[in-house]
Amino acid sequence: MTDADTTVQQLREAMQQFVAERQWERYHAPKNLVMGLAIETAELMEHFLWLDVEESRQRGNDPRHREAIADELADVCCYVLALANALQLDLSAAVEAKLEKNARKYPVERYRGRFEPD
Amino acid sequence: MTDADTTVQQLREAMQQFVAERQWERYHAPKNLVMGLAIETAELMEHFLWLDVEESRQRGNDPRHREAIADELADVCCYVLALANALQLDLSAAVEAKLEKNARKYPVERYRGRFEPD
Amino acid sequence: MTDADTTVQQLREAMQQFVAERQWERYHAPKNLVMGLAIETAELMEHFLWLDVEESRQRGNDPRHREAIADELADVCCYVLALANALQLDLSAAVEAKLEKNARKYPVERYRGRFEPD
Amino acid sequence: MTDADTTVQQLREAMQQFVAERQWERYHAPKNLVMGLAIETAELMEHFLWLDVEESRQRGNDPRHREAIADELADVCCYVLALANALQLDLSAAVEAKLEKNARKYPVERYRGRFEPD
């Protein structure tokens, strides 16, 4: 599976199948899953904790760290997929709506290269 | 866009375009993005803070809350996509590898319906 | 040291001395320390991830888990103390002000036993 | 109340009284409180999200931001105190034990000015 040829739905189904095979749906309540997401996010964070912002870019390119970083990002992703499944929410529609909302909130001409309005 | 007909790559490109139009790449270092992910995860968490685990399922189905929950989940998703873009990591490949790894770690026959091995 | 006979200042100084001996002040910028706090909070969270809210109380009383939980809570505390030191903020004054603010926000007669106003 | 003349126990009692007056003990299970701690930590994090590490020090000294930062740090503190109360754990003893443990883990002569051993 690669991002270019995998739909979000296919990823969600792969996650769903993993959970269903183990009958873990009863643990997959939103409250638990969002805690799991926070825990995995923290594990990803550990890779960058004491680094300067610029160093964190280099760390992301360092072959000695990339695999471990990808591993943590995958854990984060799995919880996002599990949340979408548990909540029966469409991630693509939600992201599309959010980007449209943010496009109005941060118009290009005022926010180019900055977070504070021009 | 819906999960059934949107590839992960298409979502990543939508996010990338949003960032590029605003020339925000310089802010999108992994250290910043993972902090952003933690912040949005916490905002999603707020919806379930004082609820029991079972109540959190009902909250997820409550039409008065679903839109706000979807909105927060979208923010989480956007940061995951931005991280994948900044780190140039393939989410689908990472998730597939993770599920295979976890399938070996949690064999179905020993973990069905439980987190502790049988 | 016990809570009954230790001032907050004494805890802060113990932390400060630990950091100074190792000349770690240069790493102790607020951005790093708050990430460290998030990471340790997540490690504390792990103890309660798949438990029901009520079960989490029992876990906290379970002698097999109490030491590990105390260990994680101590890590959280150390980061709070380090943040107070790095930011030169008085924790006791801040907590006192916050409790007064929250007492006005949540008057006893309207919030007794509930989070939603009566 | 100031850190120099306030014991940890006094802070814990102030928090306990606030909770007891509102009969909120039933919400104060460890699982909920650690989620609250994560949420408040994220709100503190927001102040430093897009800043460089060095800029985060300046932000901490900026009078326009200090009050809001102190406010968020107080929220973090309140949850730590509430957790100590709910779990009946002594924070000072836990911090003392942790600093002793870390002093053995990071001996001064090998870790002075660095996180990697000399």
Minimal Cα distance from A36: which residue of D? Answer: D35
Please answer whether residues B106 and A18 qualify as being in contact, where contact means their C-beta atoms are separated by less than 8 angstroms.
no
User: How distant is the Cα of A8 from the closest Cα of chain C, in angstroms?
Assistant: 26
Asked if the C-beta of A35 comes within 8 angstroms of chain C's C-beta atoms, the answer is: yes
- Name the DSSP class of A115: S
Residue B35 · residue A38 · CB < 8 Å: no
Please report the pLDDT score of residue B118 as a whole number. 62
d(CA A81, CA A93): 14
Tell whether B113 lies on the interface with C, counting CB pairs under 8 A: no
Which residues 37-96 on chain B approach chain A with CB closer than 8 angstroms? 37-38, 41-42, 44-45, 47-48, 51-54, 56-57, 59-60, 66, 69-71, 73-78, 80-81, 83-84, 86-87, 89-96
- Distance (Å) from the C-alpha of residue B1 to the closest C-alpha of chain A? 5
What 3-state DSSP class applies to D7?
A: strand
pLDDT computed for residue A14 by the predictor: 98
C114 contact B CB<8A: no
pTM of the shown model: 0.97
Global ipTM:
0.97
Contacts of D35 in chain A (CB under 8 A): 31, 35
Average model confidence (pLDDT) across chain A: 96
Across chain D, what does the average pLDDT equal? Answer: 96
Position B92, amino acid: S
Query: Which residues from A are below 8 Å from D52, CB to CB?
Result: 52-54
Distance, in Å, from the CA atom of A95 to the CA atom of B15, rounded to the nearest integer, reads: 9
pLDDT of residue D89: 98
Residue C50 has its nearest CB partner, among B35, B52, B115, at B115
pLDDT value at residue B115: 78
Closest D-chain CA to B28: D50
Q: Do B115 and C35 touch (CB under 8 A)?
A: no
- Compare all CA atoms of chain D with the CA of B52 and give the residue at the minimum distance: D32
Rounded-to-integer distance, Cα D49 and Cα A45, Å: 13
Contact D38 B32 (CB under 8 A): no
Using the Cβ of C1 and the Cβ atoms of chain A, whether some distance falls under 8 Å is answered with: no
pLDDT tens figures, D65-86: 999 999 999 999 999 999 999 9
Q: Looking at the partner chain, which of C35, C52, C115 has a beta carbon nearest the beta carbon of B50?
A: C115
Determine the average pLDDT of the residues in A7-15.
Answer: 98
For residue A73, what are the CA distances in angstroms to A56, A78, C15, C19, C44? 15, 9, 33, 31, 20
Backbone φ and ψ for C7, nearest 5 degrees, come out as -80, 160
B106's enclosing H/E stretch is none
A27: chain C residues, CB-CB within 8 Å = 50
Q: Express each pLDDT in B56-105 by its tens digit.
A: 999 999 999 999 999 999 999 999 999 999 999 999 999 999 999 999 99
Query: Least CB-CB distance to A38: which of C32, C36, C45?
Result: C45
Task: Count Cβ atoms below 10 Å from residue B10 Cβ, excluding itself.
Answer: 18
